[in-house]
Structure 1
Amino acid sequence: MSQPFNDIQQIEMAIKAAQKMVGAATMSMDPDQLQTATQALEDAKRQLQSAKQHDLDSEFIDYSSTLIEKLEHQVDEAKH
């Protein structure tokens, strides 16, 4: 397996984990869960930024970035 493929898998898994955490946190409105979801999103963003070094498919990068932004907005709305 090549490094870029592994990066894509890692990013997808990080985003899926963040999606689940955001969903649970916004349903419960629990401050601790919202913080955990925020951290999961930060981790996914960090992985995405790191993977950009490997010239990944721009569509994948754009899609992932947009999805993370939407999830961040969802958490921000729940916090306020």
Structure 2
Amino acid sequence: MSKPFNDIQQVEMAIKAAQKMVGQATMSMDTGQLETATNALNDAKRQLQEAVNYEMSGELGEYSRGLIEKLENQLDEAKE
């Protein structure tokens, strides 16, 4: 396997983990969980940016950025 492929898999797993954490945090509205979800989302964003450096672009890159944006909005609304 090439390194870019591994990075793409890492991004997918990080986004899935962030989705789960954001869902749990916004349901419980626990400040600790909201913070953990924010950290997971920031990690997913960082991993996505690193994958973009290895030419992860096109539909998968756009889809991943769109998911992250939706998760950010969900967290922002929960924190208000």
TM-score by length of 2: 0.97
1:23 maps to 2:32: no
Structure 2's unaligned 5+ residue stretches are: none
Q: Partner letter of residue 36 of structure 1?
A: T
| Structure 1 match to 2:63 | 63
Q: Partner letter of residue 35 of structure 1?
A: E
1:48 maps to 2:48: yes
Matched pairs, number: 80
Structure 1 stretches (4+) deviating beyond 4 angstroms? none
Cα distance, 1:62 vs structure 2: 0.4
- Tell me the percent identity: 70
Structure 1's unaligned 5+ residue stretches are: none
